[in-house]
A and B are shown apart, each in its own frame.
Chain A
């Protein structure tokens, strides 16, 4: 069964600094991978997804993630943090051709300091 581990339940950065949110997955078959963002009192919004095309995936709001099979990782990055990026971020995985069910990590809360 697939699973996701997000390292760091809380990450704090200064405005303008690099954002790096870590995600490692476990899957017995090639995975689909997703990053979602959740703002307070709102539902989840898709940031980007990897579906076995290009390994470097660009998403909305300047975020991108790189699929590294050898490291079983799909870390989320943004070169320069903005105050509006403060939110909770969830990594999710699903097996290609498997149950097609998304399995989410526990989330990482990002704080952006002025």
Chain B
């Protein structure tokens, strides 16, 4: 079974530029998560989708971050414009459903460096 795919793996941009990350979850998984992991910290949930609807985006900086999950499969996370403090690893995860007893499977992440 293929795991969670993410691209690109690495991205370097200047501040105030835009960037987009792509995630393809495990086939059949209804729930998709985007996490931000800043160096030296644990992952922090940015947004959670159930199929193509948003379940939780309370920690998403909506003035610069946006995410969508069209057709309930792939998802894109965008930052526009980027700030220095956005430098982090962005992790995508998926699970069968939204129950916390369901295992979340993580992709390898996209490491973003903002100069």
Q: Is the interface of B mostly helix, strand, loop or mixed?
A: loop
Q: Is the interface of A mostly helix, strand, loop or mixed?
A: loop
Q: How far is the CA of A106 from the CA of B44 in the complex (A)?
A: 10
Q: Report yes or no: B106 in contact with A101, Cβ–Cβ below 8 A.
A: no
User: Which residues in chain A, 74-91, are within 8 Å of chain B measured between CB atoms?
Assistant: 90
Q: Report yes or no: A101 in contact with B43, Cβ–Cβ below 8 A.
A: no
- Interface contact tally, CB-CB below 8 A: 53
Q: A102-B45, A104-B44 are in contact. List 17 more A-B contacts (CB 8 A).
A: A32-B101, A36-B106, A42-B109, A43-B4, A43-B91, A43-B106, A43-B108, A43-B109, A44-B91, A46-B103, A46-B104, A49-B103, A51-B101, A99-B56, A106-B40, A106-B42, A107-B42
Taking beta carbons and an 8 Å cutoff, which residues of A are in contact with B?
A: 4, 9, 32, 36, 41-46, 49, 51, 90, 92, 94, 96, 99-102, 104-107
